[in-house]
Structure 1
Amino acid sequence: MSGPQCCANPPTLNPTTGVGHVENLGGLNTYVNGSPHSKLAVLLVSDVYGYEAPNLRKLADKIAAAGFYVAVPDFLHGDPYVPNAGRTLQDWIKDHGTDKAFEDAKPVIQAIKSKGITAIGAAGFCWGAKVGVQLAKREFIQAAVLLHPSFVTVDDIKTVEVPTAVLGAEFDQISPPALLKQFEEVLTAKSEVDGYVKIFPKVSHGWTVRYNVEDKSAVKCAEEAHQNMLEWFAKYVN
């Protein structure tokens, strides 16, 4: 289920990007930003390139500016995927299962709640979307956003218990529009859970965090998705 699109447009990782800071949260190094007095939090789960990706940290800063406490944990334990470094993506995934990241997320969420946070949203990107959908239970979070999901299945969507939005790309071999339409059908049938599926035209898998900052069109498409995500959290994480 993973392929070349999972690795397209790799970012240049930079641990100094962003106006937040890194601290230990629930046993993981975590990029954090936002008011420590906020009662609302957003957890971001990265793609295979990890929590030092500049566009991801910029997005974290944007969410923090909207009033949320934001946490971006290093679920990859200092070992992001590096293309053309002698290890295939499939081999890397064997060492970085989303089930383990889901378990790692539980103490992170507890650490966030211990700060006085009363509501949490989670957004997962590509690889991280599988973690996001696993967290989409009332005991963990209040809302989820899955952006160009890589491993999410129809059965996963059937299990969500909190409002869940799926933002996908027109050109996506991993989570194609046909699959997203199935997600939409499942969410529509779940009357007890609000769902939303949007397919962005003329963009490819990974467009929300692996865009070229010099490409105005790419930036605009990414920012539209970011705004949709923020609106979802503003509505349901309160």
Structure 2
Amino acid sequence: MVASGCFSNAPVLNASSGVGHVINVGGVNSYVTGSPLAVLAILLVSDVYGFKAPLLRKIADKVADNGYYVLVPDFLHGDPYDPKNVSRPTRVWLKDHEPGKSSEEAKSIIEALKRKNVSAVGVAGFCWGAKTVTNLAKTELIQASVLLHPSYIVVNDIRGVNVPIAILGAEHDSLSPPKLVKEFEEVLKAKPQIDSYVKVFPNVSHGWTLRYDPTDPKAAMAAGNAHKIMINWFDKHLKK
């Protein structure tokens, strides 16, 4: 079953958006923003539309303003999902870009950052990117994790998490419906040694933190609240 909500509200991609720039880190081209001298780094793992989405880069810039060196890796390698390409069905695209497949590349990026004196790393994943984050959260490479309206995540993924994790779900979400998010919460409650935070946002749909209309005050406020929670979570667990 294809998760259609992951593919709705396609953004207009813009390679020149954001105040940062693109460099190769650990073998992966990445949008980077913030001071390269920062000792705390954040990876933002995109949805199916990749690292050229202007709102994603805006979020990265916002996180960087809080003292982080932020990277948005191009884990799609120049091949974001294109809803206009009718000759390449969603299922075919997903086969080429299996959720979580980028975990090993993410490890290479994190290792490269730590060789440059980064002392702590947080990772957040939006939709398609959530699987990569849960894979990393099972390792000792990162210190904090956040899932925002995750896709393709099952309870067993959450059972394996061993670093602090925040999960932000949507009231209207067929991919991670509130009932499933509640199951995630119960699993985490059974692991009190792992700090966790779970919230289902009312009156929002899948993708609300990343593919929203910035001219809609309610949509912008809901997204902004989620971004604030994400930043606060990283502050709590990385700025020790």
- TM-score category of the 2 structures, normalised to the smaller one: over 0.9
**CA deviation after TM superposition for structure 1 residue 117, in Å:** 0.5
By how many angstroms is 1:214 displaced? 1.3
Q: Percent identity?
A: 57
Cα deviation, 1:83-118, whole Å, max 9, x if unaligned, reads 031222221110011342111111111111122100
State how far apart, in whole Å, the 2-side matches of 1:88 and 1:47 are.
Answer: 17
- Alignment of 1:149 with 2:154, yes or no, is no
Give the match for residue 213 of structure 2: 212
Tell me what 2:38 maps to.
38
Deviates more, 1:130-139 or 1:180-189: 130-139
For the residue of structure 2 that corresponds to 1:222, the secondary structure is helix
- Residue 85 of structure 1: aligned partner: 85
Work out whether residues 129 and 150 of structure 2, in 8 Å CA contact, stay in contact via their aligned partners in 1.
Answer: yes
User: In structure 1, what is the equivalent of residue 65 of structure 2?
Assistant: 65
After superposition, the C-alpha distances for 1:161-208 in whole angstroms (9 at most, x for unaligned) are 100000010000010000000000001110110111100000000000
In structure 2, how many angstroms separate the alpha carbons of the residues matched to 1:45 and 1:162? 17
Structure 2 partner of 1:191: 192
Tell me the CA shift for residue 8 of structure 1.
Answer: 1.2
In structure 2, the CA distance between the partners of 1:199 and 1:78, relative to structure 1 (3 Å rule), is: same
For the residues of structure 2 that align with 1:216 and 1:89, how far apart are their CA atoms? 32
Matched letter for residue 171 of structure 1: H
**How far apart are the structure 1 equivalents of 2:99 and 2:119?**
26
Across the aligned residues of Structure 1 and Structure 2, the Cα RMSD in angstroms comes to: 1.0
Aligned residues: 238
CA deviations over 1:61-99 (Å, ceiling 9, x no partner): 000000001011000010000003122222111001134
Deviation of 1:138 (Å) = 4.5
User: 1:9 is matched with which residue?
Assistant: 9
Q: Specify the SS of the correspondent of 2:188.
A: helix
Aligned partner of 1:20 in structure 2 is: 20
Determine the C-alpha separation between the residues in 2 that align with 1:160 and 1:218. Answer: 30
Q: 1:169 to 1:99 in 2, by over 3 A?
A: closer
Do 1:34 and 1:67's aligned partners in 2 also have CA atoms closer than 8 Å? yes
Structure 2: state its 5+ residue gaps. Answer: none
Q: Structure 1 regions of 5+ residues with no counterpart?
A: none
Asked if the contact 2:100/2:129 (under 8 Å) is kept, the reply is no
Contact kept, 8 Å, 1:2 with 1:150, in 2: the verdict is no
Residue of structure 2 equivalent to 1:180: 181
Distance 1:139 1:162 in 2: 8
Secondary structure at 2:211 match in 1: coil
- Structure 1 contact 56–209 (Cα < 8 Å) conserved: yes
Instruction: Give the letter aligned to residue 32 of structure 1.
Output: V
